[in-house]
Amino acid sequence: MFMNISHFFPPRRILMGPGPSDVNPQVLAAQAKPTIGHLDPLFIGLMDEIKTLLQYAFQTENKLTMAVSAPGSAGMETCFVNLVEPGDKVVVCINGVFGQRMAENVKRCGGVPVVIEQKWGRAVDPQQVEDTLKANADAKFLAFVHAETSTGALSDAKTLCAIAKQHGCLSIVDAVTSLGGVELRVDEWGIDAIYSGSQKCLSCVPGLSPVSFSDAAVEKIKARKTPVQSWFLDQSLVMSYWSGEGKRSYHHTAPVNALYALHESLVLLQQEGLENSWARHQKMHLQLRDGLDKLGLELVVPEAERLPQLNNIYIPEGIDDASVRKHLLEEYNLEIGAGLGDFAGKTWRIGLMGYGARSENVALCLATLSNVLK
């Protein structure tokens, strides 16, 4: 059979949506290096370096820190399937799409979600968490999203984890969009299980999910009465692949070239410095906000709860959502995100993530929006 299918040449887009973000050309180049065996001693050395670099990015000394060979959603699933056993009560904060997915994960593990529903576009309310944990003394976990990409709201992870600890709960934190973009300190804040993604503020290719577990979380996993229902995500098995110390054995074939890319993106983060990266995201956010103000475009989230790396803005009256986004993509190669869930058709989400958080991107986005809105 003859098929008229040829090589694929993607255009060079500017990615200013909710992810994937623009990938640094150095990271793309790293990915094109020769593939070596995943048990090659040189590759094992690379995995050890990735672990160290991830410990830096997460600000943790957790031994169980690694990258799951799958996207952020698999990092989420890794945390829930390993920690939550049938019957475990989990308080889940829902202030957007990803909190909803956390609750769904709890159910599928046989856990009992106790849901705190919050207005979309707002941070998780610590007082409500406190009250819910008081009313549910048997809860074992508190789960929340640090940076809700669906709404642009940043929650106070430090305070929320402290409340969890006071009530004897382990914390499970979604840091897919926060890692590298805003302050995040796993050890200092007492976070027990955390997952992220490669394709947001790390500006790496999609498909990897950094995770980290505290000693208390590892104890809970070791004390499980039932085996983790997912063989692939079972950390007790993956652990020996990532931390075998001389006896590393085959678990699955690591995505070798994607891990080259992750290594490079983490080296770039370390060279810039974590605090500098956080500050850069904030600075670019303020540049964008000032320009949006001038265009009369309004942000959804109140100032004190805003994510710098994800700006959720109201679409002005009489403007057609889809045709504007299509125009930006076709005429300027510029991708911005559509509203999600409650915000579908009502807002645009402008991402300033990782390598994409640069003045020229801010200027381009403002200029093109100004043009199309005229």
Ligand X SMILES: *Cc1c(COP(=O)(O)O)cnc(C)c1O
The token pair that represents 249 in the structure block: 């054995």
Question: Is the preceding omega at residue 11 within 30 degrees of 0, hence cis?
Answer: no
Instruction: State in angstroms the smallest separation of the CB of 186 from ligand X.
Output: 16
Instruction: State in angstroms the smallest separation of the CB of 174 from ligand X.
Output: 5
Q: How far apart are CA 84 and CA 263, in angstroms?
A: 30
Instruction: State in angstroms the smallest separation of the CB of 32 from ligand X.
Output: 22
The token pair that represents 341 in the structure block: 């869930």
Nearer to ligand X, 72 or 111 (CB): 72
Contact between 149 and ligand X per CB under 6 A: yes
Nearer to ligand X, 252 or 294 (CB): 252
265, 198 Cβ separation under 8 angstroms: yes
Contact between 354 and ligand X per CB under 6 A: no
Nearer to ligand X, 99 or 111 (CB): 99
Nearer to ligand X, 77 or 368 (CB): 77
Supply the DSSP symbol for 2: -
Instruction: State in angstroms the smallest separation of the CB of 105 from ligand X.
Output: 11
350, 337 Cβ separation under 8 angstroms: yes
Contact between 153 and ligand X per CB under 6 A: no
90, 144 Cβ separation under 8 angstroms: no
Q: What beta strand segments (E) does 146-204 contain? A: 147-148, 153-154, 170-174, 193-195
List residues bridging with 314 in a β-sheet. 347
Total of chain residues touching ligand X, rule CB under 6 A: 14
93, 144 Cβ separation under 8 angstroms: yes
Instruction: State in angstroms the smallest separation of the CB of 151 from ligand X.
Output: 10
Q: Which residues, numbered 249-268, are part of the site for ligand X (CB under 6 A)?
A: none
Q: How far apart are CA 153 and CA 15, in angstroms?
A: 20
Site string for ligand X, 51-80 (x = CB under 6 A): --------------------xxx--x----
Nearer to ligand X, 71 or 255 (CB): 71
Contact between 145 and ligand X per CB under 6 A: yes
Q: How far apart are CA 217 and CA 64, in angstroms?
A: 10
Question: Looking at beta carbons, which residue is closest to ligand X?
Answer: 72
- Choosing from 79, 93, 143, 176, the residue that interacts with ligand X (CB under 6 A) is 176
Q: Which amino acid is at 327?
A: H
Q: Which residues, numbered 17-36, are part of the site for ligand X (CB under 6 A)?
A: 19
Contact between 177 and ligand X per CB under 6 A: yes
Instruction: State in angstroms the smallest separation of the CB of 209 from ligand X.
Output: 7
Site string for ligand X, 195-234 (x = CB under 6 A): --x-x------x----------------------------
Q: How far apart are CA 179 and CA 156, in angstroms?
A: 14
Instruction: State in angstroms the smallest separation of the CB of 104 from ligand X.
Output: 12
Residue 167: how many other CB atoms lie within 10 Å: 16
Instruction: State in angstroms the smallest separation of the CB of 87 from ligand X.
Output: 26
Q: How far apart are CA 67 and CA 198, in angstroms?
A: 9
Nearest to 197 by CA among 185, 184, 210: 210
Nearer to ligand X, 174 or 234 (CB): 174
Contact between 111 and ligand X per CB under 6 A: no
Contact between 174 and ligand X per CB under 6 A: yes
Q: How far apart are CA 190 and CA 374, in angstroms?
A: 49
Instruction: State in angstroms the smallest separation of the CB of 99 from ligand X.
Output: 9
Three-class SS state of 162 = helix
Nearest to 92 by CA among 62, 65, 124: 124
Question: Which residues of the shown chain bind ligand X in the complex (CB under 6 A)?
Answer: 19, 71-73, 76, 98, 145, 149, 174, 176-177, 197, 199, 206
